[in-house]
């Protein structure tokens, strides 16, 4: 068995800092380097946390699994086509956004962020008749190159119609190109095909939303 790498604050060197992203060198052994892309400043970097600190880490962002129930129609999963810069094109995506410092902490912050992002990206205002709950407080995007993480929140919207849907709330770098409202069978096909109706791949968070929807896990309170 190989020796487990030990990453301490003393062996971490920051290589790049911009407004939105940082790059760290995790020198876990003499002459051994592992590079970590992170949104977090040094004092919040996940790699150097001990076991107790790790268990209480908060997510960087929230991804929303939005399911719409309208009268006389079967439930549909609400996704959108959002421009994703690293992919250079519009990808089938669930509503999502970063947690702001003033969103609070813990579950309150996750639900507050989810409500805000759903309103901004879909036009839907969460009401008392709707259901919003945390599915998972933190899942890593790709710990092979980044410590970025998302919480997963499910919102079940009970609406009379779809007239509320809008993408006019897009901010700054956000660009959208319409919605995809998928029935259970349509979602199953997107899962089976591994791409959207245009043959374009999607993110693992879209995959998670599809699985949560078609598995009917969203129906369990």
Whether 25 shows a pLDDT value over 90: the answer reads yes
Enumerate the β-bridge partners of residue 68.
76, 157
Map out the domains of the chain as residue ranges: 9-55, 61-219
| 207, 194 Cβ separation under 8 angstroms | no
**Amino acid 75: pLDDT:** 97
Out of 3.90.79.10, 2.60.40.3950, 3.40.50.300, 3.40.50.970, select the CATH number for domain 61-219.
3.90.79.10
Q: Residue 23's pLDDT band (boundaries 50, 70, 90)?
A: very high
Share of the chain above pLDDT 70, in %: 99
Give the whole-angstrom CA distance, residue 80 versus residue 95: 7
pLDDT at 1 over 70: no
Q: How far is the C-alpha of 22 from the C-alpha of 29, rounded, in Å?
A: 21
Largest CA distance in the chain: 65
Q: How far apart, in whole angstroms, are the C-alpha atoms of residue 182 and residue 194?
A: 15
CA distance 68 to 209: 13
Please report which confidence band the pLDDT of residue 7 belongs to, taking 50, 70 and 90 as the band edges.
confident
What's the whole-number mean pLDDT along residues 91-100? 96
Q: What's the chain's average pLDDT?
A: 93
User: What is the tens place of the pLDDT at every residue in 71-81?
Assistant: 889 999 999 99
**pLDDT tens-digit readout, 125-182:** 999 999 999 999 999 998 899 999 999 999 999 988 888 999 998 888 899 999 999 9
Percent of the chain scoring above 90 in pLDDT:
79
pLDDT at 137: 96
Instruction: For 181-190, write each residue's pLDDT tens digit.
Output: 999 999 999 9
């Amino acid at each position: 068995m190989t020796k487990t790498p030990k990453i301490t604050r003393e062996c971490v060197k920051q290589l790049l800092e911009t407004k939105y992203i940082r790059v760290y060198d995790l020198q876990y052994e003499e002459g051994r380097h592992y590079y970590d892309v992170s949104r977090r400043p040094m004092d919040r970097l996940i790699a150097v946390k001990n076991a107790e600190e790790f268990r209480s880490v908060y997510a960087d962002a929230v991804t929303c699994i939005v399911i719409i129930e309208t009268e006389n129609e079967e439930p549909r999963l609400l996704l959108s086509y959002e421009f994703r810069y690293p992919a250079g094109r519009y990808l089938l995506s669930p509503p999502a956004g970063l947690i702001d410092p003033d969103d609070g902490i813990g579950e309150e912050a996750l639900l507050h962020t989810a409500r805000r992002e759903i309103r901004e990206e879909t036009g839907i205002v969460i009401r008392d008749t709707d259901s919003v709950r945390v599915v998972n407080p933190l899942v890593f995007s790709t710990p092979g190159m980044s410590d970025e993480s998302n919480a997963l929140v499910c919102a079940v919207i009970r609406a009379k119609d779809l007239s509320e849907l809008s993408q006019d709330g897009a901010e700054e770098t956000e660009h959208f190109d319409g919605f995809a409202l998928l029935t259970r069978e349509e979602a199953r096909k997107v899962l089976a095909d591994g791409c959207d109706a245009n043959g374009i791949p999607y993110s693992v968070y879209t995959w998670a939303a599809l699985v949560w929807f078609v598995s009917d896990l969203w129906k369990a309170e």
